[in-house]
Structure 1
C-alpha cells in the first residue's frame, strides 16, 4: 500500500526517461526560473513548451504544480488579511475551482497528441495576450460574472497547459488591483487553483504522494534559476527580453502543435 501511494504518473515517467531527457527537464525548470527572475513571467509559460518535448503534457502540468504553489504561498500570506482578501475575489476563486475540476477531467481523457496540440494552442493564446497586454475596466455589475468566467477560463488553461496567469492578470487589472494588492490576489487565486488541480488529479487516481514530492523537488531548480537571474536583472533590458521570451514561447508552442499533428 505504501509503495502504491508513492508510485504515480511522474515517478513512472521520469524513471523511463534517458538521463539526457532528465537533464533537459532540469534545464527547463532553471530557464523558467531565470526568466521569472528577470521579467516576472510565470515559470510554466516558459518551461511548459520545453518540458513537452521530453514528457507528456499531463505529467508536465503535474510537475509544475508545486513550484507554482510554493512560489505563491508567501505572497498570498504577505501583509495579513488573507481571508478578507479571498472573500473579495470569491467569484474568480469559485470559477477556478470548477474550472480545474472540469479541466483535469478533460486533460485525463485526452490522447497525448491531442493534449499537446491543445496545450500548444493555449500557450500561443497566452503569449499573444502577454504581448498585447490588453487593458480595460469592468463595470461594477459585471465584476462578479466576469471574475467567475475569467477564473473558470484561467483554470482550464491551468489544468490543460499550466498557464492561468494571463486571464487572471487581465481580470485583476480591470478591477483596479495594483501593486501589492494585485500580487496578493493573484497569489491567492493561484494557490487555490493549483491545490484544486492536485486534488482533482488525486481523486482521478492519476497522482500520488510521490508525484507531489517530485513536483515539490522541481521547485529547487526553479529557485536556482531565480538566484542566477539576480545579477542579470539590471544588465538586460526587461522589456526587450520579455518580448524575446514571448516570441520564443510562440515558436516553441507552434512546434508543440506541429509535433502533435504529426503524431
Structure 2
C-alpha cells in the first residue's frame, strides 16, 4: 500500500526546494507539452522531458510525467468498448511493456544521475528521429506477435528512461495494420498498462508514494490547459511543418542533455 506522507515521497522534497521561477519553468514545460500535443498529436513527454530535466533529476521527471500520460490516454482506451477483444489482439506488446518497464525502472534507479540524463537524451533523440523519419513498415502475419513483444519491450525501456514509448508503439501498430480509432485505442491501452507498471515498479524500487501520484496527477492540469489554449489555432496551422519544428527542437534539447551529462 502506498504511503501518503509527503516527506517520504520523491517529488515533494525536490519541488519544495525549487525557487518560484524554477517551479514556473516546470509548469511552462508541461503547458508547452500540452500545446504541442494539441496541435500535432505528439505526446506531452517528448517536449516536456528535456525542459524538466533542467529543474529535476531524470528519475523524478519520468515519475512526474507518469499520470499525465495515463489521464490523457484513459478516454481513448475506453472508447468504443470491446476491451477484452482488443487486449487479446495486443497481448504481445502488452507483455513486452510490462517486462520492459520492470527492467527499465531497475536500470534507471541504479544509474548515476549523469548517466541517467545521458540515457534519457539518447532515448529522446531516437524517438525524435523515428517520428521524423516516419518509417512505413508492413509486418507479415507470422511476425506480428514476436515483433510486437520486442517493440513493446523496447518502448517500455524508452518509457522508463525518458517517458517516450510512443514512437516504437506507433511503428508497430501501423506496421500491423492498425489505423484510425483502432490505432488510437490500441496505443492508448498499451500506454496505460505500461505506465501503471512503471508506477508500480517505482513505488517498490524507488520509494514513490501516493503523494507522488497526486503531484503527478496535478501535473496533468498545465498540460490540459495547454491543449485547450491552442485548440482555436489547431486548424489554422500546418501540423506537418509544426511537427518538424518541434522535433528539431527535441533533437537539439536532447543533444544538450547528453552534453550536459558530461559522458562525452
State yes or no: 1:98 paired with 2:104. no
Report what 1:22 is aligned to: 23
Structure 2 gap segments, 5+ residues each:
none
Report what 1:226 is aligned to: 227
What is the deviation of 1:4?
3.8
Equivalence map 1:1-263=2 (5 Å): 4=5, 7-261=8-262
Which SS does the other structure have where 2:216 is aligned?
Answer: helix
More divergent stretch after superposition (162-171 vs 228-237): 228-237
Q: Report if the CA contact (8 A) 2:6-2:12 is conserved.
A: no
Partners of 2:225 and 2:90 lie apart in 1 by 32
Partners of 2:143 and 2:182 lie apart in 1 by 20
What is the deviation of 1:206?
2.3
TM-score, normalising length: structure 1 = 0.97
Q: Report if the CA contact (8 A) 1:8-1:207 is conserved.
A: yes
Partners of 1:100 and 1:43 lie apart in 2 by 19
Q: Report if the CA contact (8 A) 1:51-1:60 is conserved.
A: yes
Q: Report if the CA contact (8 A) 1:101-1:196 is conserved.
A: yes
Residue by residue over 1:83-130, the C-alpha shift from the partner in whole angstroms, topping out at 9 and shown as x without a partner, is 210111000000000000000000000011100001001100100000
Residue by residue over 1:20-51, the C-alpha shift from the partner in whole angstroms, topping out at 9 and shown as x without a partner, is 11100000000000000000000000000000
Partners of 2:211 and 2:44 lie apart in 1 by 22
Residue by residue over 1:132-162, the C-alpha shift from the partner in whole angstroms, topping out at 9 and shown as x without a partner, is 0001111111111100000000000000100
Q: Report if the CA contact (8 A) 1:6-1:209 is conserved.
A: no
Q: Report if the CA contact (8 A) 1:6-1:208 is conserved.
A: no
Partners of 1:121 and 1:5 lie apart in 2 by 32
Moved runs in structure 1, 4+ residues, more than 3 A?
Answer: 1-6
Residue by residue over 1:48-89, the C-alpha shift from the partner in whole angstroms, topping out at 9 and shown as x without a partner, is 000011110000000000000001001000000012101110
Aligned pairs, number: 263
What is the deviation of 1:236?
1.6
Structure 1 residues 233 and 2: alpha-carbon distance in aligned structure 2, compared to 1, 3 A threshold: closer
Q: Report if the CA contact (8 A) 2:92-2:145 is conserved.
A: yes
What is the deviation of 1:237?
1.3
Partners of 2:6 and 2:127 lie apart in 1 by 35
